[in-house]
Amino acid sequence: MNVQAGKTTPCEVRLTPVLPGESSIYGYATLANHYAPQAASKPRLFTGSAARKPSLTSSEPPASTIQVRIRPGLTVADIADELARAGYEIVDELPLTRIVLVRRADGKAPDGVAAPNGAAPGAIFGTTDYSDVSIEQAASALEDIPGIDWAYPDYPVWATAMPNDPYFSSYQWHYSAISLPQAWDISTGHDSPVTVAVIDTGISPSHPDLIGKLVPGWDFVENDDDPTDKPSTSSHGTHVAGTIAAATDNGIGVAGVSWGAMIMPVRVLDSKGTGTYSLIMEGIEWAVQHGAKIINMSLGGTDHPGPAFEATVRNAYTQGVLLVAATGNDYGRPVLYPAAFPEVMAVGATLKDNSLAPYSNVGSQVTVTAPGGNAEFGPSGSVFSTALARVSTGSGYTWQNGYEFMHGTSMATPHVSGLAALLLSRFGPMAPNAITALICDTSMDLGADGYDHDFGAGLVNAYAALTQSTIDRAVFAIKDSDGNWVGESVYGRRNRTFCISSASPGECTLVGFLDVDGDHQISPGDFYGETQIVVPPSGAHQVDRLVLHYVDTGSEAIGMATPKPRF
């Protein structure tokens, strides 16, 4: 088990009597995706980030505006003069979250960034030396103004992906990696279409693989109803949207995870993939108010977003909206916000060989992983989706609808959002924690047994989730060297563990079987696994993790005898 610092960790202790001459066997089990991972073509050459965040400068851009909340009963006009006397001007008013954005009236940003006139930035009231004032100090000082409830820096955020070379739409290995072809036999998302908000750089509404897949959205960058993706480096939002719900089975382009889901584009990041927390929380609130059931945020920032953002996330969660966000592309650094909030599913990234992506942020907040890819396997080792492709012209370049390889936790995140849309379409309304639990409990365990800080619960398994194949449906038993069942047969537990309390010592075969279709025999679509073990003469013995594999039409397990659970 994993014990997290500063948190209460529930433990379940079961005492099982062991008879003389018998032993107990316990361990973890997991369901494998129906996928043969491709090994890397060359050794890993680095352990750092492969997909760095975009930046306007050589360093991370500082916050230049401050969020201000006015006390109840007051208006902006009531504090405008006080702000002006303190050297601040009002930049914008955000009506949905009732936030006012302010900045230094002379155009200077805090944190030591020089203004055009060479004056030092920042403001501490009652002082004349502003040269060492940080954005945090400036925000704290603003709270001394009568009528201001609180102030908080409007920190920057950024898209978490890096583009790669675009070309052909058939390289979607990342869908087989999470058993989507098998999942589509269960549901394609057309049962009851689900709306997924993509809070990002916008989308290309004219893309042939997104036509007919969009509901009205909003552009908070330019404050209008046209959230069109306007890239300067990559069409991040268009790529994310295609992974979730590109038009599928239409004879062109790429497939989406959920064929029936609809995309609500909410533009909060500019053409460079940068934005602020204030616009993101406006986007979240807008999406909630306009009927989104899932919100995908392939973006993040390192600084805590502040109380207003936290309240916005909590409000969306309590209203039944699932929030999914990227952990970040700076391995060794903390999980980004908003993924770090407990109400948000935090998604890390895996490679084509199911290993953890070397850029994927890790920590106790990681919920699950999904394919994010990497150029380590060549261009086709990244995630392929809809995009605006940069095309050279005689006088420069233009952007045309096309397809592109990208990699990063931004690319992993929409796989989970799309899977959640499939679940809601198949099963109807589900609380966010129920969706999260089903996805986690059916994920393929790849790291340390159970939950770990690298993979979270593991790599998502779309087929297992859609068939609700949790380990408490699986039966575990032991066969002797002659193939006879010996000892008891037991069901596993929801936390992906099992315990056989009466096992005869000696060499034997441990078997796990999950009867997906309930026909009481091993047949295609079920899960089956076995491994050779040696049971010690007495005591409790932990065995290596047992992997239950998807049974396809060519499996040797078909027709084999199945264990029957005993109570």
Q: How far apart are CA 254 and CA 268, in angstroms?
A: 25
Q: Which residues pair with 224 in a beta bridge?
A: 219
Q: Is the peptide bond before 338 cis (omega within 30 degrees of 0)?
A: yes
Note if 200 is an active site residue.
yes
Q: By C-alpha distance, which of 383, 381, 349 is closest to 255?
A: 383
Question: CA distances (Å), 308 to each of 274, 287, 479, in order?
Answer: 20, 16, 58
CB of 68 closer than 8 Å to CB of 99: yes
**Alpha helices, DSSP H, located in 73-119:** 76-85
Q: By C-alpha distance, which of 205, 526, 176, 131 is closest to 371?
A: 176
Q: By C-alpha distance, which of 412, 350, 353 is closest to 377?
A: 353
**Other CB atoms within 10 A of residue 278 CB:** 27
Q: How far apart are CA 530 and CA 511, in angstroms?
A: 4
Give me the catalytic one of 111, 154, 200, 526: 200
Residues 6+ apart with CB under 8 A from 432: 317, 320, 321, 322, 323, 343
Q: By C-alpha distance, which of 335, 240, 364, 342 is closest to 297?
A: 240
Give me the catalytic one of 24, 234, 410, 502: 410
Give me the catalytic one of 236, 239, 407, 415: 236
CB of 64 closer than 8 Å to CB of 89: no
Q: How far apart are CA 351 and CA 333, in angstroms?
A: 19
Q: How far apart are CA 130 and CA 134, in angstroms?
A: 9
Note if 480 is an active site residue.
no
Q: Write the DSSP assignment of 166-180 as a string of letters.
A: ---TT--HHHHTTTH
Both tokens of 137, joined, read: 């100090």
Both tokens of 425, joined, read: 């379409």
Both tokens of 422, joined, read: 């499939």
Note if 410 is an active site residue.
yes
Q: How far apart are CA 271 and CA 238, in angstroms?
A: 12
**441 phi and psi angles, rounded to 5 deg:** -70, -15
CB of 362 closer than 8 Å to CB of 355: no
In terms of Cβ atoms closer than 10 Å to its own Cβ (0-12, 13-18, 19+), residue 357 is: buried
Active site residues: 200, 236, 410
